[in-house]
Amino acid sequence: MKIISGNVNGIRSACKKGFWGFIAKEEPDIFCLQEIKAKKEDLPKDPTELNGYYPVFNSAEKKGYSGVAVFTKEKPILVKTKLGLERFDKEGRYLELEYSDFILFNFYLPHGGRQKENLKYKLEAYKKIIEKVRKLKNKNVILIGDFNIAHEEIDLARPKENRNNIMFTAEERKQIDNLLDLGLVDSFRCFNTEQGHYTWWPYAFRAKERNLGWRIDYVFVSKKLAKKVSKANIYAEVNFSDHCPIGVEVEVVDNFKQEKLLAE
């Protein structure tokens, strides 16, 4: 089973920059999007009814802001769009899809604000997520998306300069520790423990060209699933957003339907 995820920084913009061609080439079983900045009805028909995928959207109440989506070859048994934190839920930052063998979470965590004005809100969201995952400790779970935190020094190009900056404060990094303490595994680090692999680059200062980036997009899997992860990718060469896509391949389910579904 192949899953791809990406913060598209506006799905309509990403479509104009080759996003759908990338998906057609990679042929994932599931792909998860963050920061779509649109509602389903705002998009052209073809992308929302992409042949072979069932689309699930959770758009923000505010127009042109935030939002997440999942396109899946197998229709989930159950879909949830609420984490239980009012502001977070109004901003469309959460999707939970239940399948017969696993539960998939697609997140777009808050940035926190350059002056840390939204750090409290961000930490509240993490607390809710950790509570949710703790209750599912005996389940196969996959957490995927834009977590807006670089966990370790190897996860950003300039850790010393950013020690006290948002996305790399001790309080934020502790939240990733807390997720790992629940038994989750950072799938990419199962295969690569080197610095220099990032998923987001600021638009300024030729950051992408100079690889002055941050790894803030993740696929976390429960320990049982981690044993079946065969590959984890960062598609750094793909340029439809200030983030690049990430992916994981998991030999996880015998009955994940491979026949194509048409969107409803």
CB 66 within 8 A of CB 60: yes
Of 29, 42, 101, 146, the catalytic one is 146
Report phi then psi at 34, rounded to 5: -125, 160
Report phi then psi at 45, rounded to 5: -60, -45
Q: How far apart are CA 218 and CA 120, in angstroms?
A: 22
Identify whether 101 is a catalytic site residue.
Answer: no
Q: To the nearest 10°, the Cα dihedral for 99, 103, 104, 110?
A: 140
User: Smallest Cα–Cα separation from 77: which of 102, 106, 112, 59?
Assistant: 102
- Sole residue written with tokens 């060469």: 237
Q: How far apart are CA 50 and CA 130, in angstroms?
A: 33
Give the catalytic positions in this structure: 146
